[in-house]
Amino acid sequence: MTSTNPWSWADDQLVSFNLVRDRSLVDLLRFYDADPAGARTVMRKESDAAFGLPDEGTVLRVGRAGAWSFCFENWLPVGFDPGLLERLSAGTDTIHYFRNPKGGRFVNHLRDGRDLERFELGMPPAPSEEAPLGLHRAIEQRAGEMEKGLDYPEHRALWEVLSELVGVRLDNALVNGPLLTVLRPSGPLRYDTQGPAAHGNGPVSSPPVGGPSRRGLGRSLGPLIPWKPEVPDGR
């Protein structure tokens, strides 16, 4: 059955998705401690047929979205590991989405190893020193503009906002389409051999898409996300 929700891929029981500005796909796989030489470009249905739900390890599917790269996992993920997120964001921006089996949907924006904005969809954001992308504000605004009766409007709003940020629709067609795919064996992440020390802390050069980019903003969201200082909510 065809879903009418273009973002249904992100509502699987367990999803980890990292969106990283100006990283190559090869470097992204290396940060995950996976072997790029073993990766193949396949559709998601082919990946599911080949790997299923592996007893050990996690299936990594990586692709490009404008000047950003992303990695999708939906079984035994490692993408939420704090050390990995810190290293992915070294010298650049990383946006992390995690959907846990209990239904919680969590978003982080990290820059240069720092956690700048962190929240659960539908809940107030955690206190932060700055929120340069203003994701929570933009999502709440977009969700409020959606038609009444939609199931979980914040979830749909998140992917609309991120798609505008990178200039590419992060929808079912993209995530379920042909992506570079590899099985990462189980085991801890070996930061000393596969992290920034081996591959550089700074971002990998990538041609701008849709005009010049601004640090941390990629494709500009314009007035959709005006920057204002965060006011701690006292939690």
DSSP state letters, 101-126: TTS-EEEEEEETTEEEEEEETTSPPP
What was the pLDDT predicted at 149? 65
| Region 173-188 average pLDDT | 94
Task: Among 1-5, 46-50, 117-121, 184-188, name the one with the lowest average pLDDT.
Answer: 1-5
- The per-residue pLDDT for range 77-96, each reduced to its tens digit, is 999 999 999 999 999 999 99
What was the pLDDT predicted at 55? 82
Neighbour count for residue 183 (Cβ, 10 Å)? 18
Distance CA 157, CA 210 (A): 22
Region class of 7: left (phi > 0), else alpha (psi between -120 and 50), else beta = alpha
Res 141 pLDDT > 50: yes
What was the pLDDT predicted at 219? 36
Give the predicted TM-score (pTM) of the model. Answer: 0.80
